[in-house]
Structure 1
């Protein structure tokens, strides 16, 4: 099983970004900011999603994120699939916070059950084949629309979605140019996928001494 240990987000101010993520979501090292001036405009082609147990936990995390400086893209609301919201961090990263539950079954917590990295790709079938060749195992697959890969507990889940569909679910325009402003750190090796997403090993992700 191939796993994602963390994601590196390219930001203009690493200290400010670290403070935001520590305050908003407290993801315990799963998100690592680094300084970069790589040009990027519009949709960066990915979203990060936090899956939680109930609506009150969605509300708690979203409220904290907004207080820490995030912008609301989609206010929390019920949907066919449950309850969720989309916010944009000060560094520009889009975050979806959601639950499949429509009612609370207990007091609100701040527990995050899963972190999912959704990559917006041009051809889901082609990208799926690429990742299978890298050693990933498909756990869920819905034709040319969506693929989710198996992951170990505590690891970030990788999923592929059509780029335009992903932008629509996030509530933004699909247009965008330049850097994705993300690097993915895992045990699959160092490579760049067909849509330009860069993967690093833990060793290559470490800053030079």
Structure 2
């Protein structure tokens, strides 16, 4: 069985053109992010957080400020913590983004370069969802029991990790409750499937 790849994340918004413009200006993620139109209602936490991992605090601030200048709102201001430096914001389409680094000081010129994009899923049962993804061919890179799992995603443009829904919401600084559409999917070059929490993995060729 081949390892499923995450070729891009798909966000749905009522105004796809405006949403694409925001992300191009704020983050410049290129092919790692796609946007499509959807009017499906959604309220509260959608069960995922998108994380941008960068090299140093100055890069966090550069991306954070670019997003705010483009219309994002702050959920958690960027600041130092025991694990590094980072903050959380909400894009105009409602998606939650965490921008962080494990470094606490700048060691080189500041850029808006993004080292990796990580999908952090908030799931009902971490162990069950972990076993589901292992069954789909994903290897486990890190696992902390029923609390956190990080997968080996090979050559994927985007990485994947699991929290409990409550832990993901707490980390993002929002309430865990939410209803309606997720407005989020994953584009993969592998087989299509839907995970135990209803997240769809869609064939990349239909988005080309």
TM over 0.5: yes
User: Structure 2: where are the runs of 5+ without partners?
Assistant: none
Please list, as runs of the form range in 1=range in 2, the aligned pairs for 1:134-149 lying within 5 A after superposition. Answer: 134-149=136-151
Deviations 1:35-78, CA, capped at 9 Å, x for gaps? 00111110000010000000000000000000000001100011
Report if aligned partners of 1:71, 1:89 keep a CA contact under 8 Å in 2: yes
Between the aligned partners of 1:70 and 1:8, the Cα distance in structure 2 is 18
CA contact (8 A) 2:189 2:204 kept: yes
Residue in 2 that maps onto 1:100 = 102
Work out the CA distance in 2 between the residues paired with 1:59 and 1:114.
16
Task: Look up the match of 2:201.
Answer: 199
Q: TM-score, normalised by structure 1?
A: 0.96
The whole-number CA distance in structure 2 between the counterparts of 1:154 and 1:2 is: 8
| Equivalent in the alignment of 1:109 | 111
**Kept in 2: contact 1:23–1:68 (CA 8 A):** yes
* Residue of structure 1 equivalent to 2:152: 150
* Matching residue of 2:133: 131
Q: Which moved more, 1:1-10 or 1:117-126?
A: 1-10
Deviation at 1:153, TM superposition (A): 4.5
Determine the C-alpha separation between the residues in 2 that align with 1:152 and 1:68.
33
TM alignment of 1:39-188, pairs within 5 A: 39-153=41-155, 155-188=157-190
Structure 1: any 5+ residue segments left out of the alignment?
A: none
Note the C-alpha offset of 1:132.
0.5
Please give the per-residue CA displacement for 1:82-126, whole angstroms capped at 9, x wherever unaligned: 000101000000000000000111111111001000110010000
Q: 1:71–1:87: 8 Å Cα contact kept in structure 2?
A: yes
Superposition CA RMSD, Å: 1.1
Which aligned runs of 4 or more in structure 1 are off by greater than 4 angstroms? none
How many residue pairs get matched? Answer: 206
SS in 1 for 2:7: strand
Specify the SS of the correspondent of 1:4. Answer: coil
Q: Residue 110 of structure 2 aligns to a residue in which SS?
A: coil
Contact 1:86 1:95 in 2 (8 A): yes
